[in-house]
Amino acid sequence: GQSLEQPSEVTAVEGAIVQINCTYQTSGFYGLSWYQQHDGGAPTFLSYNALDGLEETGRFSSFLSRSDSYGYLLLQELQMKDSASYFCAVRDQSGTYKYIFGTGTRLKVLA
Amino acid sequence: NAGVTQTPKFQVLKTGQSMTLQCAQDMNHNSMYWYRQDPGMGLRLIYYSASEGTTDKGEVPNGYNVSRLNKREFSLRLESAAPSQTSVYFCASSETGQGPDTQYFGPGTRLTVL
Protein backbone atom coordinates (compact mmCIF):
# COMPACT_ATOMS: atom_id res chain seq x y z
CA GLY A 1 0.00 0.00 0.00
CA GLN A 2 0.92 3.63 0.00
CA SER A 3 1.80 5.46 3.17
CA LEU A 4 3.52 8.64 4.32
CA GLU A 5 4.96 8.58 7.82
CA GLN A 6 5.71 11.63 9.95
CA PRO A 7 6.75 12.14 13.58
CA SER A 8 3.65 12.71 15.68
CA GLU A 9 4.93 15.74 17.57
CA VAL A 10 7.82 18.21 17.51
CA THR A 11 8.53 20.95 20.07
CA ALA A 12 10.83 23.97 19.56
CA VAL A 13 11.32 27.47 20.94
CA GLU A 14 10.61 30.78 19.25
CA GLY A 15 13.35 31.83 16.85
CA ALA A 16 14.63 28.30 16.39
CA ILE A 17 14.77 26.13 13.26
CA VAL A 18 12.78 22.89 13.08
CA GLN A 19 12.68 20.10 10.51
CA ILE A 20 9.62 17.90 9.99
CA ASN A 21 10.35 14.68 8.15
CA CYS A 22 8.18 12.66 5.81
CA THR A 23 9.13 9.17 4.70
CA TYR A 24 6.98 7.46 2.17
CA GLN A 25 6.20 4.16 0.56
CA THR A 26 4.42 4.71 -2.71
CA SER A 27 4.90 3.31 -6.17
CA GLY A 28 4.90 6.66 -7.88
CA PHE A 29 3.75 10.21 -7.39
CA TYR A 30 3.92 13.55 -9.11
CA GLY A 31 5.40 15.61 -6.29
CA LEU A 32 5.42 16.14 -2.55
CA SER A 33 3.23 18.84 -1.02
CA TRP A 34 3.07 20.28 2.48
CA TYR A 35 -0.01 21.64 4.25
CA GLN A 36 -0.47 23.52 7.50
CA GLN A 37 -3.52 23.16 9.74
CA HIS A 38 -4.22 25.26 12.82
CA ASP A 39 -6.48 23.82 15.52
CA GLY A 40 -10.10 24.08 14.42
CA GLY A 41 -9.13 25.20 10.93
CA ALA A 42 -8.80 23.71 7.48
CA PRO A 43 -5.52 22.62 5.89
CA THR A 44 -3.81 25.24 3.74
CA PHE A 45 -1.11 24.70 1.12
CA LEU A 46 2.46 25.61 2.06
CA SER A 47 4.96 24.19 -0.39
CA TYR A 48 5.52 21.75 -3.25
CA ASN A 49 8.50 19.79 -4.61
CA ALA A 50 8.11 18.38 -8.11
CA LEU A 51 11.81 17.59 -8.40
CA ASP A 52 14.52 16.53 -5.98
CA GLY A 53 16.12 19.34 -4.08
CA LEU A 54 15.22 22.31 -1.97
CA GLU A 55 12.36 24.76 -2.55
CA GLU A 56 12.32 27.96 -0.51
CA THR A 57 9.26 30.06 0.27
CA GLY A 58 10.06 32.74 2.81
CA ARG A 59 10.70 31.20 6.22
CA PHE A 60 9.59 27.79 4.95
CA SER A 61 11.66 25.43 2.81
CA SER A 62 10.87 21.95 1.60
CA PHE A 63 13.16 19.20 0.38
CA LEU A 64 12.61 16.02 -1.62
CA SER A 65 14.83 13.04 -2.35
CA ARG A 66 13.03 10.42 -4.44
CA SER A 67 15.99 8.05 -4.28
CA ASP A 68 15.75 8.06 -0.46
CA SER A 69 11.91 8.10 -0.39
CA TYR A 70 12.20 11.06 1.93
CA GLY A 71 11.25 14.68 2.24
CA TYR A 72 11.17 17.36 4.89
CA LEU A 73 9.73 20.74 5.73
CA LEU A 74 12.11 23.24 7.31
CA LEU A 75 10.70 26.12 9.32
CA GLN A 76 13.09 28.93 10.22
CA GLU A 77 12.79 31.80 12.70
CA LEU A 78 9.93 30.04 14.42
CA GLN A 79 7.03 32.16 15.61
CA MET A 80 4.24 31.30 18.03
CA LYS A 81 1.77 31.38 15.13
CA ASP A 82 3.62 28.44 13.55
CA SER A 83 2.15 26.17 16.24
CA ALA A 84 -0.04 23.92 14.10
CA SER A 85 -0.17 20.50 12.49
CA TYR A 86 1.78 19.89 9.31
CA PHE A 87 0.98 17.25 6.71
CA CYS A 88 2.93 15.97 3.74
CA ALA A 89 0.88 14.75 0.77
CA VAL A 90 1.28 13.21 -2.67
CA ARG A 91 -0.93 12.72 -5.67
CA ASP A 92 -0.94 9.13 -6.78
CA GLN A 93 0.63 8.48 -10.19
CA SER A 94 -1.31 5.32 -10.94
CA GLY A 95 -3.75 7.08 -13.24
CA THR A 96 -6.20 8.08 -10.56
CA TYR A 97 -6.39 11.52 -9.00
CA LYS A 98 -6.20 10.30 -5.43
CA TYR A 99 -4.40 12.40 -2.88
CA ILE A 100 -2.66 10.69 0.04
CA PHE A 101 -1.89 12.62 3.20
CA GLY A 102 0.74 11.80 5.77
CA THR A 103 0.01 11.00 9.38
CA GLY A 104 0.67 14.60 10.43
CA THR A 105 3.11 16.31 12.82
CA ARG A 106 1.92 18.58 15.60
CA LEU A 107 4.41 21.43 16.10
CA LYS A 108 4.45 23.24 19.43
CA VAL A 109 6.39 26.50 19.56
CA LEU A 110 7.36 27.59 23.06
CA ALA A 111 8.08 31.15 24.15
CA ASN B 1 -14.38 34.61 -4.68
CA ALA B 2 -15.64 32.36 -1.88
CA GLY B 3 -13.32 29.43 -2.70
CA VAL B 4 -14.75 26.20 -1.27
CA THR B 5 -17.88 26.42 0.85
CA GLN B 6 -19.47 23.70 2.97
CA THR B 7 -22.81 23.42 4.71
CA PRO B 8 -23.67 22.85 7.44
CA LYS B 9 -20.79 23.87 9.75
CA PHE B 10 -22.06 21.74 12.63
CA GLN B 11 -24.51 18.85 12.82
CA VAL B 12 -25.68 16.42 15.47
CA LEU B 13 -27.42 13.24 14.35
CA LYS B 14 -28.90 10.25 16.07
CA THR B 15 -27.78 6.78 15.05
CA GLY B 16 -29.65 5.70 11.93
CA GLN B 17 -30.51 9.18 10.69
CA SER B 18 -29.44 10.31 7.25
CA MET B 19 -28.03 13.57 6.02
CA THR B 20 -26.25 15.18 3.10
CA LEU B 21 -23.21 17.40 3.39
CA GLN B 22 -23.00 20.03 0.69
CA CYS B 23 -19.86 21.39 -0.95
CA ALA B 24 -19.41 23.96 -3.70
CA GLN B 25 -16.37 25.60 -5.29
CA ASP B 26 -16.17 28.67 -7.49
CA MET B 27 -12.63 28.19 -8.84
CA ASN B 28 -13.69 26.14 -11.90
CA HIS B 29 -11.66 23.16 -10.66
CA ASN B 30 -12.11 19.77 -12.26
CA SER B 31 -11.38 17.61 -9.21
CA MET B 32 -13.21 17.51 -5.90
CA TYR B 33 -12.64 15.43 -2.78
CA TRP B 34 -14.25 14.45 0.51
CA TYR B 35 -12.05 13.70 3.53
CA ARG B 36 -12.71 12.86 7.14
CA GLN B 37 -10.43 13.80 10.00
CA ASP B 38 -10.74 12.18 13.39
CA PRO B 39 -9.30 13.92 16.48
CA GLY B 40 -5.51 14.07 16.38
CA MET B 41 -5.43 12.17 13.11
CA GLY B 42 -4.61 12.82 9.51
CA LEU B 43 -6.95 13.22 6.58
CA ARG B 44 -8.51 10.10 5.10
CA LEU B 45 -10.00 10.20 1.63
CA ILE B 46 -13.62 9.04 1.45
CA TYR B 47 -14.52 9.68 -2.18
CA TYR B 48 -13.24 11.84 -4.97
CA SER B 49 -14.36 13.07 -8.36
CA ALA B 50 -11.67 13.63 -10.96
CA SER B 51 -14.09 15.42 -13.27
CA GLU B 52 -17.77 16.18 -13.67
CA GLY B 53 -19.71 12.94 -14.07
CA THR B 54 -17.15 10.65 -12.43
CA THR B 55 -16.70 9.52 -8.84
CA ASP B 56 -14.34 7.00 -7.26
CA LYS B 57 -13.83 5.43 -3.87
CA GLY B 58 -11.04 6.53 -1.62
CA GLU B 59 -9.59 4.89 1.44
CA VAL B 60 -12.73 4.79 3.66
CA PRO B 61 -15.90 4.81 1.47
CA ASN B 62 -18.08 2.43 3.48
CA GLY B 63 -21.25 4.07 4.81
CA TYR B 64 -21.06 7.01 2.40
CA ASN B 65 -22.32 7.94 -1.04
CA VAL B 66 -21.46 10.94 -3.20
CA SER B 67 -22.94 12.89 -6.07
CA ARG B 68 -21.08 15.21 -8.42
CA LEU B 69 -24.05 17.34 -9.26
CA ASN B 70 -22.18 19.59 -11.68
CA LYS B 71 -18.69 21.01 -11.97
CA ARG B 72 -19.21 23.23 -8.93
CA GLU B 73 -20.95 20.92 -6.47
CA PHE B 74 -20.01 17.64 -4.80
CA SER B 75 -22.22 16.27 -2.03
CA LEU B 76 -21.60 13.54 0.54
CA ARG B 77 -24.49 11.48 1.91
CA LEU B 78 -24.66 9.39 5.06
CA GLU B 79 -27.58 7.01 4.58
CA SER B 80 -27.68 5.60 8.11
CA ALA B 81 -25.36 7.45 10.46
CA ALA B 82 -23.29 5.52 13.01
CA PRO B 83 -21.26 6.80 16.01
CA SER B 84 -18.08 5.75 14.15
CA GLN B 85 -18.86 8.47 11.60
CA THR B 86 -18.42 11.19 14.19
CA SER B 87 -15.67 13.28 12.64
CA VAL B 88 -14.81 16.52 10.89
CA TYR B 89 -15.53 16.36 7.18
CA PHE B 90 -13.57 18.45 4.72
CA CYS B 91 -14.34 19.04 1.09
CA ALA B 92 -11.51 20.09 -1.22
CA SER B 93 -10.99 20.94 -4.86
CA SER B 94 -7.98 21.12 -7.15
CA GLU B 95 -7.05 21.79 -10.75
CA THR B 96 -5.41 18.43 -11.25
CA GLY B 97 -2.59 18.18 -13.72
CA GLN B 98 -1.22 21.66 -13.37
CA GLY B 99 1.78 22.22 -11.16
CA PRO B 100 1.41 21.25 -7.52
CA ASP B 101 -2.24 20.18 -7.78
CA THR B 102 -2.87 22.35 -4.76
CA GLN B 103 -5.87 21.23 -2.75
CA TYR B 104 -8.14 24.04 -1.57
CA PHE B 105 -10.18 23.08 1.46
CA GLY B 106 -13.54 24.18 2.75
CA PRO B 107 -13.97 25.17 6.43
CA GLY B 108 -15.24 21.72 7.40
CA THR B 109 -18.40 20.20 8.85
CA ARG B 110 -18.22 18.98 12.43
CA LEU B 111 -20.52 15.98 12.72
CA THR B 112 -21.48 14.20 15.91
CA VAL B 113 -23.50 10.98 15.79
CA LEU B 114 -25.09 10.00 19.09
* DSSP class per residue in A77-108: S--GGG-EEEEEEEEE-SSS--EEE---EEEE
Q: What's the start-to-end Cα distance of chain A, in Å?
A: 40
The percentage of residues in chain B with a pLDDT greater than 90, rounded to a whole number, is 80
Number of H helices and number of E strands within chain A?
A: 0, 11
pLDDT at A80 (0 to 100): 96
Using DSSP's 3-state secondary structure scheme, residue A7 falls into: coil
Please give, rounded to a whole number of angstroms, the shortest distance from the CA of B102 to a CA of chain A: 7
Is the pLDDT higher at A18 or at B59? A18
Contact by Cβ (8 Å): A61, A49: no
pLDDT at A73 (0 to 100): 97
Quick one: pLDDT band at residue A99, thresholds 50, 70, 90? confident
> What average pLDDT does range A53-71 have in this prediction?
92
The percentage of residues in chain B with a pLDDT greater than 70, rounded to a whole number, is 96
pLDDT at B97 (0 to 100): 64
> What average pLDDT does range A35-48 have in this prediction?
94
pLDDT at A3 (0 to 100): 84
Q: Best of B34, B103, B104 to disrupt the A interface by mutation (most A CBs within 10 Å)?
A: B103
